Amino acid sequence: MEQKVALVTGGASGIGEEVCRLLAEHQFLVAVCDIDRDKAETVARSIGGIGVECDVASPQSVQSAASRCKAELGAPDFAHLNAGIMTSAPGEPYQPIETVPLDAYRKIMGVNLDGVFNGLQTFLPTMQERGGCITVTASIAGLGFVPVDPLYTATKHAVIGLTRAVAAANAGSQVRINAICPGVVDTAIVPPDFKSRPMMPARMLAEEVVDLYKNGQNGEVRVKIAADRPSFVVEPVPL
């Protein structure tokens, strides 16, 4: 039986790394894509995949990563568009919206929103023909808000809306598009003020992501708030 192929952005750490490792356990060939090439290659070597340097804010970089995946592993059956950042770098203080530098605004929009757009444009055409699944990492912030980071909140609201709209536009095709909305996960981008709260292990979110590939519906927005609470699906509001 031919092995399935997966491509994961932001795959060198946090949720993305755990998704890569779990997919490998499920016998996937995995392209570990990350802006940090060395870390991507380290993770890839440990799971028998390939490490690919990829800046999701660049359409050319995403297309290049997809081309390398196809050439070395095969066309991806599953793409996890996971790369994401907060407005301030890990460990740095958060700023009110009125003092956020323009380059910081453009950077978070480029990674969190453009990164999903670039991934959808790259992977949809092939998957519409041969089938596949695209899962986007959103956030519970996309259904509520994070006061310390309004721009992160804005990008995640946009990502959820984009996922739902593109899924509806592709209803009846061979591709499924869905999203995972985690609560606070133990990763490097969690703000210091949140670290005093109970955090979910990244592996727990990885299990939800793999289940979305196996069982998730087109347009599904699944929420996993805490380790001791089951995941649930948020239904869209009819227009």
Q: How far apart are CA 214 and CA 73, in angstroms?
A: 20
What residue has token string 């994070």?
A: 146
The catalytically annotated residue of 4, 61, 88, 152 is 152
Name 212's Cβ contacts closer than 8 Å, sequence gap at least 6: 133, 135, 178, 180, 220, 222
| Known active-site residue 39 | no
The catalytically annotated residue of 4, 61, 88, 156 is 156
| Known active-site residue 152 | yes
Q: Across the chain, where does the E strand assignment appear?
A: 5-9, 29-34, 50-53, 78-81, 132-137, 175-182, 221-224, 232-233
Name 144's Cβ contacts closer than 8 Å, sequence gap at least 6: 153
| Known active-site residue 214 | no
Residues annotated catalytic, as ranges = 139, 152, 156
